[in-house]
A and B are shown apart, each in its own frame.
Chain A
């Protein structure tokens, strides 16, 4: 598709991620969409950011699209190749030092109104020990959600946005204000927003419940509510404009030309 004025839902999502990375931020990325989202800032929008990955590779600037966080593509183009335990120590010390430089992207299968995320299993008729659907497990997500402000990536579907999720892999705001402190988690860290293919949710300062902050040119507040399994406040929602052709060209031609993570529809 050589028409850069048209873009897909996924490209919009990647752009929404890119817009939320600020100058000099240290950005924890995984593979997939977050990586694509973090690439335009590194290349064009915000070259001063520092992408890092949970395997311990710091200040990554991959040329090819990595398929895993331990990929040679990260390893060959980074500043430091730390073992994973150094990464863990670094994120914990950022919090201990009261530094506010980190932002992290995590994903999951289910999310509740307080931004608690499940990436372990879906019970169905079973339970944790014998679930209907099993996923990979935490990976680095639990530790990241403990010490860092997070941006959560989700597909916007009713069965994923639930009042009650089966299992909390990565803690959000727990059950509301003060919830994190109660269980021993840093209270001044937590989910900042949820970026989906339909919009951007943020968390109310008082209640810590999710509300719709932005919808996209191709979505609407009604669509968001229809695809959310709990009541979501849409009264504050604003329209977010889509990406310009220069960003779309960058994503398609330079960042993911092989369409490893962002599929471009055929004309």
Chain B
């Protein structure tokens, strides 16, 4: 059976507003950015999210207000942005409905989903805030159709009376999206390098969309079955999407685009131009206060003058720093599809990201 779709058609058919959804990949590695961009362009929203170790993928969707409930264990483009900035801002403003589990527990929950378990007992999170505090209250949970009624429950181990363990719910995923190195039209996938939780969510989710670097024939992908990781019958759509994890890494193919990740780090500080003006104003006031407290400190005075200029320039509209909205306009909304994105990034830049086979990463970008 041929499951090959264009990126547009796969996302249109298999990603619906309101879905309970999970993405593969790990912070800045093999994240399905091309599919994320297509979701942003098409407008699907109100996702209930089992995020796993997330980065810019979910940060962009949070910044665009597409997330109804965010189940988190870690959100950062680590090494570039310590805490993803739209995620952070949304929580600090009280605009994001979210829950925290530890990464261990969340990954085990996704694994339990792949095993079809009814619930999961763990000897983790005990004594910590992860059990004590609930981001989504019991009452709120009842009104959220795709969120379990309880975050966790302390139970006694029936096989070891007296031992307290923590029971957690098992995700019920509508949709999984993963990016892999090789896939064939029948849905069979080869993942090179660490599979992360990708196989788990591919088994657990009702519909699975795979984007791949190389689309190969069903015969070719079976040449060495020790390499295949996902049974084709788990997969609904296969999309040929070279550099589909850009700007994150893809093992054996390419490295992080550090320029893009640094650009996103800076731009995502500000939601939009208005936010940039307000934040620069605030920063200028703070710098002025610091300088006034130590009038003899030349460095503080210099910093205050610089901050004042930046705030004035932004207010006058002469120099406004790049914002999150600008970044998305530039790299997501102004291109109609992934091909246009690759043209925009440019051939030489993409070639510099290519893994150097003797190293397993690139030193040229």
Where the two chains meet, the residues of A that have a C-beta atom closer than 8 Å to any C-beta of B are 31, 54-57, 63-64, 66-73, 75-77, 81-85, 88, 92, 118, 120-121, 126, 128-143, 146, 167-171, 174, 179-180, 182-185, 260
Q: Are B108 and A85 in contact (CB-based, < 8 A)?
A: yes
Q: Are B130 and A142 within 8 A (Cβ)?
A: yes
- B107 contacts A142, C-beta separation under 8 Å: no
Q: A67-B80, A71-B29, A139-B74 are in contact. List 5 more A-B contacts (CB 8 A).
A: A71-B249, A142-B104, A142-B105, A143-B103, A143-B124
Interface segment out of the listed B188-196, B210-218, B290-298:
B188-196
Whose C-beta in chain A lies nearest to the C-beta of B82?
A136
Assess the B26–A70 pair: CB atoms within 8 A. Answer: yes
Q: How far is the CA of A139 from the CA of B108 in the complex (A)?
A: 13
The distance from the CB of B356 to the nearest CB of chain A, in whole angstroms, is 10
Residue of B92, B100, B133, B200 touching A137 (CB-CB under 8 A): B100
Which of the candidate stretches B41-49, B143-151, B271-279, B357-365 sits at the interface with the other chain? Answer: B357-365
> Would you call A57 and B74 a contact (CB within 8 A)?
no
Q: Which residue of B lies closest to A143 (CB)?
A: B104
CA distance A71 to B25 in the complex (A): 11
Interface string of B96-113 (1 = CB under 8 A from A): 000011111101100100
Asked if A168 contacts B129 (CB within 8 A), the reply is yes
The listed residue with most B CB atoms (<10 A of its CB), out of A73, A84, A135, A168, is A84
- Determine the chain A residues whose CB is within 8 A of the CB of B92 once the complex forms: 126, 130-134
* Contact, CB under 8 Å: A185 / B361: no
Cα A56 to Cα B107 in complex, Å, equals 12
Q: Is B127 an interface residue (CB 8 A)?
A: yes
A83 adjacent to B195 (CB under 8 Å): yes
Q: List 30 A-B contacts (CB under 8 A).
A: A31-B79, A55-B26, A57-B194, A64-B359, A70-B27, A70-B28, A71-B29, A72-B29, A81-B193, A81-B195, A83-B200, A85-B107, A85-B108, A85-B200, A130-B91, A130-B93, A133-B92, A135-B82, A136-B76, A139-B73, A139-B74, A139-B102, A142-B103, A142-B105, A142-B124, A142-B130, A146-B125, A167-B129, A174-B127, A183-B126
**Chain A residue, CB-CB nearest to B163:** A184
Which of A85, A128, A137 meets B74, CB within 8 Å?
A137
Report the separation of the CA atoms of residues A146 and B124 in the bound assembly, to the nearest whole angstrom.
7
Number of B interface residues in the complex (CB < 8 A): 63
Neighbouring A residues of B197 by C-beta, 8 Å: 83-85
B26 with A67: CB separation less than 8 A: no
Q: Is the CB of B26 within 8 A of A128?
A: no
CA–CA, A109 to B88, complex, Å? Answer: 15
Q: Is the CB of B127 within 8 A of A134?
A: no
CA distance A136 to B77 in the complex (A): 10
B75 touches A128 (CB 8 A): no
A134 touches B249 (CB 8 A): no
Contact of B107 among A66, A77, A88 (CB under 8 A): A88
A68-B26, A70-B29, A130-B92 known; A146 and B123 CB under 8 Å?
A: yes
* Contact A72–B361 (Cβ < 8 Å): yes
A131 to B77, CA, bound (A): 21
Q: Which of B53, B78, B129 has the most CB of A within 10 A?
A: B129
Q: In the complex, what residues of A have CB within 8 A of residue B333's CB?
A: none
Given known A57-B194, A134-B83, A184-B126, contact A71–B28 (CB-CB < 8 A): yes
Q: Chain B nearest CB: distance from A139 CB in Å?
A: 4
Asked if B111 and A138 sit within 8 Å, CB to CB, the answer is no
Nearest Cβ in chain B — how far from A69, in angstroms? 7
Expressed in whole angstroms, the Cα–Cα distance for A57 and B194 within the complex equals 8
Give chain A nearest CB distance to B264 CB in angstroms. Answer: 14
Interface residue B128 (Cβ < 8 Å from any Cβ of A): yes
Chain A contact surface mostly? loop
Question: How distant is the Cα of A114 from the Cα of B193 in the complex, in angstroms?
Answer: 39
User: What's the Cα separation between A118 and B124 when bound, in Å?
Assistant: 16
B164 at the interface (CB under 8 A from A): yes
Cα of A142 to Cα of B125 in the assembled complex, Å: 6
| B83 proximity list for chain A (CB < 8 A) | 134-136
Q: Is there contact, CB below 8 Å, between A184 and B100?
A: no
Chain A residues with Cβ under 8 A from B236's Cβ? none
Chain B residues within 8 Å of A68, by CB? 26-29, 77-79
A88 and B133 in contact, given A75-B360, A138-B100 (Cβ under 8 angstroms): no
Within 8 A of A (CB), among B183-213: 193-197, 199-200
Is A142 a contact partner of B102 (Cβ separation < 8 A)? yes
Chain B's nearest CB lies how many Å from the CB of A147? 8
Interface pair B355/A72, CB less than 8 Å apart:
yes
Complex-state Cα separation, A134 to B88, whole angstroms: 6
| Complexed CA–CA distance, A180 and B164 (Å) | 12
User: Which 6 A/B pairs are nearest by Cβ-Cβ distance?
Assistant: A76-B360, A67-B79, A183-B127, A70-B26, A143-B104, A142-B102
Q: Is there contact, CB below 8 Å, between A83 and B194?
A: yes
| B72 and A137 within 8 A (CB) | yes
Name the B residues within 8 Å of A76 (CB-CB): 251, 359-361
Q: A31-B79, A72-B251 are in contact. Are A180 and B194 (CB under 8 A)?
A: no
Alpha-carbon gap, A66 to B251, bound state (A): 13
Contacts of A138 in B (CB 8 A): 73-74, 100-103, 130
Q: Is A168 in contact with B103, judged by CB distance below 8 angstroms?
A: no
Is B129 in contact with A128, judged by CB distance below 8 angstroms? yes
Contact B75 A137 (CB under 8 A): yes
Contact B135 A140, beta carbon cutoff 8 Å: no
